[in-house]
Amino acid sequence: MMSLQTAMLIGLLAPLVVAVLTPFLAVRHVWRDAAGPVGGVLTFIAAVQVALAVIDGETPRLFVAQIAEGLAIEFAVTPLGAIFGLVASGLWILAALYSVGYMRGNHEKHQTRFAAFYAVAVHAAMAVAWSGNLLVLFIFYEILTFSTYPLVTHKESAVARNAGRLYMSILVGTSVILLLPAVVWVWFNTGTLDFRPGGYLEGQIDPTMVPILLGLFAFGVGKAALMPIHRWLPAAMVAPTPVSALLHAVAVVKAGVFTILTVVVYVFGIDFLAKTGASQWLIWLTAFTILSSSVVAISKDDIKARLAYSTISQLSYIVLGAALASSMAVQGAAMHIVMHAAGKITLFFCAGAIYVQAHLTKVSDLDGQGREMPWVFTAFFIGALSIIGIPPLGGSWSKFMLMAGAADAGYIAILAVLGLSSLLNVFYLLEPLSRAFFREKTKLVEVKRHPLVVIPPVMTALISIALFFYNETFFDLAILASRGQ
């Protein structure tokens, strides 16, 4: 057993070491490509250790530096952070394997740069997850944006550069114009930036200002992709699929909703928000985002664009859980971070596998391809069912808890929104499958076999199933979080 400090160091540094070593390991492509999965395993072991300690009621801490009076770079793992850390590191192992298969199978250029920045992004995500105060959270939130820019613009084409500009301008713009003043506002009003059980804004801030401060956070965290600041996410789909899968379905976007959830639970305090009703507007905005992005998703023929809009919709489930500010809803939101991650990464892995093996990118081209790629489409089916929320798949738990949370908080209309959204999910996620399995083939394509892009989605699909039965660890952590601990 390693000590908690060591575990935290490994969890934070292993991805960074991978990033730094990648250019040197590039002399042998096998070494370079092995670094990611090995780093992933180390990080995940550390994350498990840390999460177990959190369940035991400890708060693993790691102090790094004192920037100035009242400003410390310190890590301290909250139950929410433990959940996010487990998700990001665990899925990185599979994503790193997948990424090797994808980049090689696709003969992408600059694979070394790609692998290095990929690892930096994971490092930033781990640091966000384990951040000990708002300053550290903000610091690594920004580093996550900057480190994913070279990944989004990886193709160096005009389309990629434009997407990169949109990506940077929305994410950096919102964080500088809204999130930074929100953080400084908290600092100025309370004299601290720590995360504390139960939050600490009550009595420290004029109650009429609470909705405004919450708004600064909700829109300042562009990574949560609330409408109308969601446009960067579909644009970022120009990146190679491993980026869309791990970063734009898990690490980056989850860092966004994680930030909002953390701020609500440990800075505002659920009880304080519920009492002031400051988050009501956010409930309706998330409801709008959930429904309208599902509608947009239906209209998208490009598989990745469709998945991107589905992600926007699902992220708002999590923000909704935070906005409902009831303990059941927060549990649901925390669980949805896990469940959606497993389901959505499966779908993206499949989309990428279809592209690498058959060079198909559109839903309408999938007719009859099911038999050509049975494993991939079966994995897609399982991932889709989990996102829709059908038992026995992980996604059913979090949706159920969110619905219970909405009922708990007295928002019956939200139940209808969630139900309607599930119906829309059925429509746009199962359409590709019905085409693949029940229609005649319209396009003859040569399918090249690349096992490294097929095994990871099958694994994550299995994880989605397993999460229905074995989710105790996450459940314990979510309960701790919902109690504000």
Residue 156 as a binder of another protein (CB under 8 A): the answer is: yes
Judge whether 464 and 386 are in contact, CB under 8 Å.
Answer: yes
Q: Does 177 bind another protein (CB under 8 A)?
A: yes
Residue 188 interacts with another protein (CB under 8 A)? yes
Between 105 and 211, name the residue whose CB sits nearer to another protein. Answer: 211
Q: How far is the CB of 135 from another protein (least distance, A)?
A: 8
Question: Does position 158 bind another protein by CB under 8 A?
Answer: no
- When binding is defined by CB under 8 A, the residue of 65, 412, 446, 449 that contacts another protein is 65
Taking the complex as a whole, the smallest distance from the CB of residue 252 to another protein amounts, in Å, to: 17
Start-to-end Cα distance in the chain = 25
Q: How far apart are CA 349 and CA 242, in angstroms?
A: 7
State residue 131 phi and psi, 5-degree precision: -60, 145
State phi, psi for 71 to the nearest 5 degrees.
-125, 105
**Does residue 164 touch another protein according to CB under 8 A?**
yes
Asked if residue 392 has a cis previous peptide bond (ω within 30° of 0), the answer is yes
Of 38, 52, 168, 479, which one interacts with another protein (CB under 8 A)?
Answer: 168
Asked whether position 184 contacts another protein by CB under 8 A, the answer is yes
Spatial contact of 147 and 120, defined as CB atoms under 8 Å apart: yes
- Per-residue DSSP letter, 268: I
Q: What whole-number distance in Å separates Cα of residue 251 and Cα of residue 236? A: 14
Residue 143 sits in the site that holds another protein (CB under 8 A): yes
Beta carbon nearer to another protein, 17 or 143: 143
- Give the single-character DSSP code of 447: P
**Measured from the CB atom, is 15 or 395 closer to another protein?**
15
Quote the least distance from Cβ 219 to another protein, whole Å: 13
* The two three-digit tokens of residue 426, written as one number: 């059925």
Can you read off the two tokens belonging to residue 261?
Answer: 């959830």
Of 68-76, 199-207, 229-237, 247-255, which part binds another protein (CB under 8 A)? 68-76
Does position 209 interact with another protein (CB under 8 A)? The reply is no
Give which of 192, 459, 421, 400 is closest to 316, Cα–Cα.
Answer: 421
Candidate list 176, 413, 416, 423; residue touching another protein; CB under 8 A: 176
Q: Is residue 169 a contact residue for another protein (CB under 8 A)?
A: yes
Q: Least distance in Å: CB of 385 to another protein? A: 40
Binding characters for another protein, 85-124, by CB under 8 A (x = yes): ----------------------------------------
Q: Is 159 in the site for another protein (CB under 8 A)?
A: no
Closer by beta carbon to another protein, 27 or else 68:
68
Q: Which of 5, 6, 66, 299 binds another protein (CB under 8 A)?
A: 66
When asked if residue 199 is in the footprint of another protein (CB under 8 A), the reply is no
Q: Distance from CA of residue 51 to its chain's centroid?
A: 18
Query: Counting every residue, how long is the chain?
Result: 485
Query: Taking CB under 8 A as the rule, does residue 138 contact another protein?
Result: yes
**Crossing angle (nearest 10°) for helices 327-358 and 79-105:** 10
Minimum distance of another protein from residue 8's CB (angstroms): 18
Q: Does 450 bind another protein (CB under 8 A)?
A: no
Rounded to 5°, angle at Cα 72 from 5 and 56: 35
* 376 to 216, 243, 349, 366, 442: CA distances (angstroms): 41, 19, 9, 12, 19
Please report how close the Cβ of residue 67 comes to another protein at its closest, in angstroms: 5
Q: Which two tokens stand for residue 314?
A: 């699902």
For position 67 contacting another protein by CB under 8 A, the verdict is yes
Q: Tell whether residue 153 is a contact of another protein (CB under 8 A).
A: yes
Q: Binding of another protein at residue 181 (CB under 8 A)?
A: yes
CB atoms < 10 A from the CB of 448, how many?
10
**Which distant-in-sequence residues (6+ apart) come within 8 Å of 374 by Cβ?**
none
Annotate 55-74 with DSSP letters as a single string. HTT---EEEEEEEETTEEEE
DSSP H helical segments within 70-133, as ranges? 79-105, 111-129
Q: Does 73 bind another protein (CB under 8 A)?
A: yes
Query: Toward another protein, which CB reaches closer, 236 or 354?
Result: 236
- Under the rule (CB under 8 A), what is the footprint of another protein? 65-69, 71, 73, 138-140, 142-143, 146, 150, 153, 156, 161, 164-165, 168-169, 172-173, 176-178, 180-181, 184-185, 187-188
